[in-house]
A = this chain, B = another copy of it.
Amino acid sequence: MRYGKGHKDETRKRILDVAAKRFRKDGVDAVGVAGLMADAGLTHGGFYSHFPSKEHLVREVLDTVLETRHASLERSAASGNGIEPVIERYLSERHRDEPENGCPFACFAVEIARHEPETREIFTAKFNRHVELIAAHLPEGSEEQRRQRATALLGLMSGMLQLARATPSPETSDEILASARQHALAMAVAPYA
């Protein structure tokens, strides 16, 4: 049937939103096109009038989610509260328990490393920009030092979040997050190398 003007754009956005969540929650590989479309309230056939392939959807999801994340960090940075609340939020129990809304670096790094270079390029481009933004809000040190510190900070936070998610015991998982917060905050406020 035919729908009103702009309907297709809305549908396309809905597919993207659903994919952005499910890819992070269940993994790119484990999410099928049919299930994705069903979650968007549609049937599987229409998918290919929106995206030429699943891989193209993956790229667009990566792009938008990483962009959204970057914008969110920019807003936090602009608030003038420094980087501490960003770290606290990143390593919170809530972020651990809601991967579907969480950091795409933590969710996608391993899986994206196995995709085509064209897909990985998107990841890297946004990653570099994100590091620059973090570095710009770190105190002390040369620009190069702060960039390296920002890289390590993101790696530490992402790695620790993953370990906390893998741990079934809530207590142990909480301890991992606590260790992460302590060291991430220390790394953020002082160059220790």
Q: Which residues does A use to contact B, with CB under 8 Å?
A: 26-27, 29-30, 105-114, 117, 120-121, 123-124, 127-128, 147-149, 151-152, 154-160, 162-163, 165-169, 172, 175-176, 178-180, 182-184, 186-187, 190, 192-193
Chain B residues lying within 8 Å of A165, measured Cβ to Cβ, are 109-110, 113
**Which among B26, B127, B193 is the interface contact of A163 at CB below 8 angstroms?**
B127
Chain B residues lying within 8 Å of A178, measured Cβ to Cβ, are 148
Number of copies: 2
Beta-carbon contact of B166 and A112 below 8 Å = yes
Chain B residues lying within 8 Å of A114, measured Cβ to Cβ, are 26-27, 30
Beta-carbon contact of A186 and B192 below 8 Å = yes
Q: Compute how far the CA of A155 lies from the CA of B190 in the bound complex, rounded to whole angstroms.
A: 19
Residue of A30, A117, A156, A192 ringed by the most chain B CB atoms within 10 A = A156
Quick one: given A30-B29, A124-B172, A162-B159, are A180 and B167 in contact (CB under 8 Å)? no
Q: Compute how far the CA of A116 lies from the CA of B108 in the bound complex, rounded to whole angstroms.
A: 20
Q: Compute how far the CA of A190 lies from the CA of B109 in the bound complex, rounded to whole angstroms.
A: 29
**Which among B110, B117, B167 is the interface contact of A110 at CB below 8 angstroms?**
B110
Q: Compute how far the CA of A167 lies from the CA of B109 in the bound complex, rounded to whole angstroms.
A: 9
Beta-carbon contact of B180 and A27 below 8 Å = no
